[in-house]
Amino acid sequence: MSAPTQEIGTAAARDVRSVFTFPNPVNELAARTVAGGVLLLSALTLVLSITVGTGWLWLSALLAYGFVARVLAGPTLSPSAQLATRVIAPRLGPAKLVAGPPKRFAQSIGAVVTITTVILVALHLAGAAQLLLLVMVVFATLESIFAYCVGCKIFSRLMQLGLIPAETCEACANISLRTATQAN
């Protein structure tokens, strides 16, 4: 391979990697805004599926897409995260930076729950799908309104148990790094 061709290949690989990354640190205001969107869509889907008909449960596919997109690429491929990071969060005040790995872990939990919801819908198990949507409503309410990230708490506990190595999230393990990051 010639030098220019190799440079183009390296640049392309770098561009793909830049798309498929998760930010660290994360603006908590943006994360809470995204959770607010998840809350609204989860609650809407749940209410419509109970009152109008279970056909509305297919909206959970939008939730699943959003979570998978955010796990794979942070806000890059998620329309709700783009809206949150570029439009809404900047208008809410100065960024409050928090560690990225726990937020990505929380997004992974959301992906598992919503993908499972979609599978349950496909299997015509509406009641089970509605139950998982209720879980999403609770978790998203805690994050968006009360700044309590259930996935982040689980991540922290897994770190304490040694199931997630400390180097995965140095800012999580070192309180002085968290304090310094939040002060900026």
For 93-134, what is each residue's pLDDT tens digit?
Answer: 999 999 999 999 999 999 999 999 999 999 999 999 999 999
**Cβ proximity of 133 and 46 under 8 Å:** yes
First to last CA, the chain: 45
Say how far apart CA 62 and CA 121 lie, in whole Å: 13
Distance of CA 34 to the CA centre of its chain: 8
Angle between helices 100-122 and 60-73 (to 10 degrees): 150
pTM higher than 0.75, yes or no? yes
Question: For residue 184, what pLDDT is reported?
Answer: 43
For 126-166, how does the pLDDT look when each residue is reduced to its tens digit (9 = 90+)? 999 999 999 999 999 999 999 999 999 999 999 999 999 88
Say how far apart CA 76 and CA 158 lie, in whole Å: 27
Question: For residue 172, what pLDDT is reported?
Answer: 75
Query: Based on the number of CB atoms within 10 Å of its own CB, is 165 exposed (0-12), middle (13-18) or buried (19 or more)?
Result: exposed
Q: For residue 123, what is the DSSP state?
A: T
For 4-19, how does the pLDDT look when each residue is reduced to its tens digit (9 = 90+)? 555 555 555 555 566 6
**pLDDT interval class at 179 (50, 70, 90):** very low
- Three-state DSSP class for 125? coil
Task: Give the phi and the psi of residue 24 in degrees, each rounded to 5.
Answer: -150, 110
Q: Is 80 exceeded by the pLDDT of residue 168?
A: yes
Query: Based on the number of CB atoms within 10 Å of its own CB, is 53 exposed (0-12), middle (13-18) or buried (19 or more)?
Result: exposed
Percent of the chain with pLDDT over 90: 76
Question: For residue 183, what pLDDT is reported?
Answer: 46
What average pLDDT does the segment 19-44 reach? 93
Read off the tokens for 94. 């100065």
* Partners of 27 in beta bridges: 97
